[in-house]
Structure 1
Amino acid sequence: MKAPTEHKLFVKGPTGKLETIVLVPASKPRGIAIIAHPHPLYQGNMDNKVVYILSKALLESGYLTVKFNFRGVGASEGSHAEGIGEIDDVLAVTQSIRHQYDIESDHLPLLLAGFSFGGAIQAYVAQQLNPEKLVLIAPSVARMKAPPVVDHADSVFIVHGSLDDIVSLQSVLDWATPQTIPITVIPGAEHFFHGKLAILKQVILNACKT
């Protein structure tokens, strides 16, 4: 059986190159998934375990997956821009990958995914890119004052841990309730889903079956 292929590349971002890893499934991808990592000022990067699980689950679901380091992280140039610049980073990566892999010509759907800070950033990006699906893991929507995604509410999938003490479950409920977005809660899981990553992966796989 043919294995997925991995491509390491640099995408031209608004303030310099952005370190990026693309995983291409063996068969024709069903879509493209752009994954955003947690807060750059708190050791967040594309090698985060939850980001890895997101990438692995979405790849197994048939997506071409893209993870990258925000500006100022790893080998990406620039410096942290309070979330505003990071929105532009996602837009730049998405545009570049779509062009490079001829995604636009095939009209493949877009999935935006993110963990914590990255989840909130993707809520902002969704306003501009109109993704087919939005997958948010413990998104820091209150801290980042994330906008509502009511236009996408029926295609938003949120996962949270019941014991998250970094991004409170209540803060996400307060954001999701007016939009009638359901939340999948993993009992006993904290922010980084230690000991619960296998469950997290299965939950994502189940959500992306269709």
Structure 2
Amino acid sequence: MPGDGARERGNLMPEVMFAGPDGRLEGRYHHSGEPNAPLALVLHPHPLHGGTMNNRITYAMYRSFEKMGFSVMRYNSRGVGRSQGRYDGGIGEISDAAAALDWMQAVNPNAGALWIAGYSFGAFVGMQLLMRRPEITGWISVAPPAAHYDFGFLAPCPCGGLMIAGGKDDLAPEPAIHKLVDKLNTQKNVQVDYRIFADADHIFAKQADQVVEALEDHVTTKMARRTMALAAD
């Protein structure tokens, strides 16, 4: 599982500490200058395998949402970095994600949309959160561990999103992700934008730019469609 750190490279990113279910949680939050800007929450890989909010892909997605004008947060789940508590097998980590979302929504009560983006274990946590929060309007799942976790809870999945797989990923094998995508695409009103990076393994060491390009393409397209649909109502 990935855990390589990305530094802020001199960019000042506001640190936040907010109340979680098992103690205070540490995050980085960018507040958009746009009124009623959309929100995005970015979730890191498995904490027992080096996953933190500074993971390279997690950080890249955070900066991508920032660039698109979102108010965006990434944070350390319980027991990671300066976040209090201990790893809880995924259950507590889903509650941590909900607490992070609560904090952002309290700061942005009139946000125009809400997205979640998760990488590896973070993708599993993000999809669990999706089923609990009907206000989520879009999602990004990079290398979801479909061979290790049962994603059968996505029934029905409330909305479509972007799923990315690496063709050489041994930890989140592409065939298992492909099977999940096929199952989701049979559901009514759900369309998954599925992209495979043939040369990528689980770290996506040379594909961070491709992940960002795919994310921005998917999000801008879906946001434009949503704006048109709202204008037509």
What's the CA shift string for 1:158-193, capped at 9, x where partnerless?
Answer: 111111111101111122211113411112111111
Match of 2:59 in 1: 52
The number of residues matched between the two structures is 203
**1:25 & 1:90 partners in 2: Cα distance?**
20
Aligned to 2:23: 16
Residue matched to 2:81 = 74
RMSD: 1.7
Alignment of structure 1 residues 19-98 onto 2, 5 Å? 19-28=26-35, 30-98=37-105
- Distance in 2 between residues matched to 1:10 and 1:64, nearest whole Å: 16
Amino-acid identity (%): 22
Length-normalised TM-score, structure 1:
0.91
Q: Distance in 1 between matches of 2:65 and 2:48?
A: 26
Task: List aligned pairs for 1:97-176, cutoff 5 A.
Answer: 97-99=104-106, 101=107, 103-104=108-109, 106-130=110-134, 131-146=136-151, 147-148=153-154, 150-153=156-159, 155-176=160-181
Shift of 1:200: 1.4
Instruction: Pick the structure with more strand per residue.
Output: 1
> Which consecutive unaligned segments of at least 5 residues does structure 2 have?
1-10, 186-191, 224-233
Q: Once structures 1 and 2 are overlaid, which stretch shifts more, 137-146 or 29-38?
A: 137-146
Structure 1 counterpart of 2:37, one-letter code: R
Instruction: Please list the CA deviations of residues 118-167 of structure 1 after superposition, one character each: whole Å capped at 9, or x if unmatched.
Output: 001111111111210011111113322232164334x3111111111111
| SS, match of residue 67 in structure 1 | strand
CA contact (8 A) 1:29 1:64 kept: no
The correspondence for 1:189, drawn from 200, 206, 209, is 200
Residue ranges of structure 1 left out of the alignment (5+ in a row): none
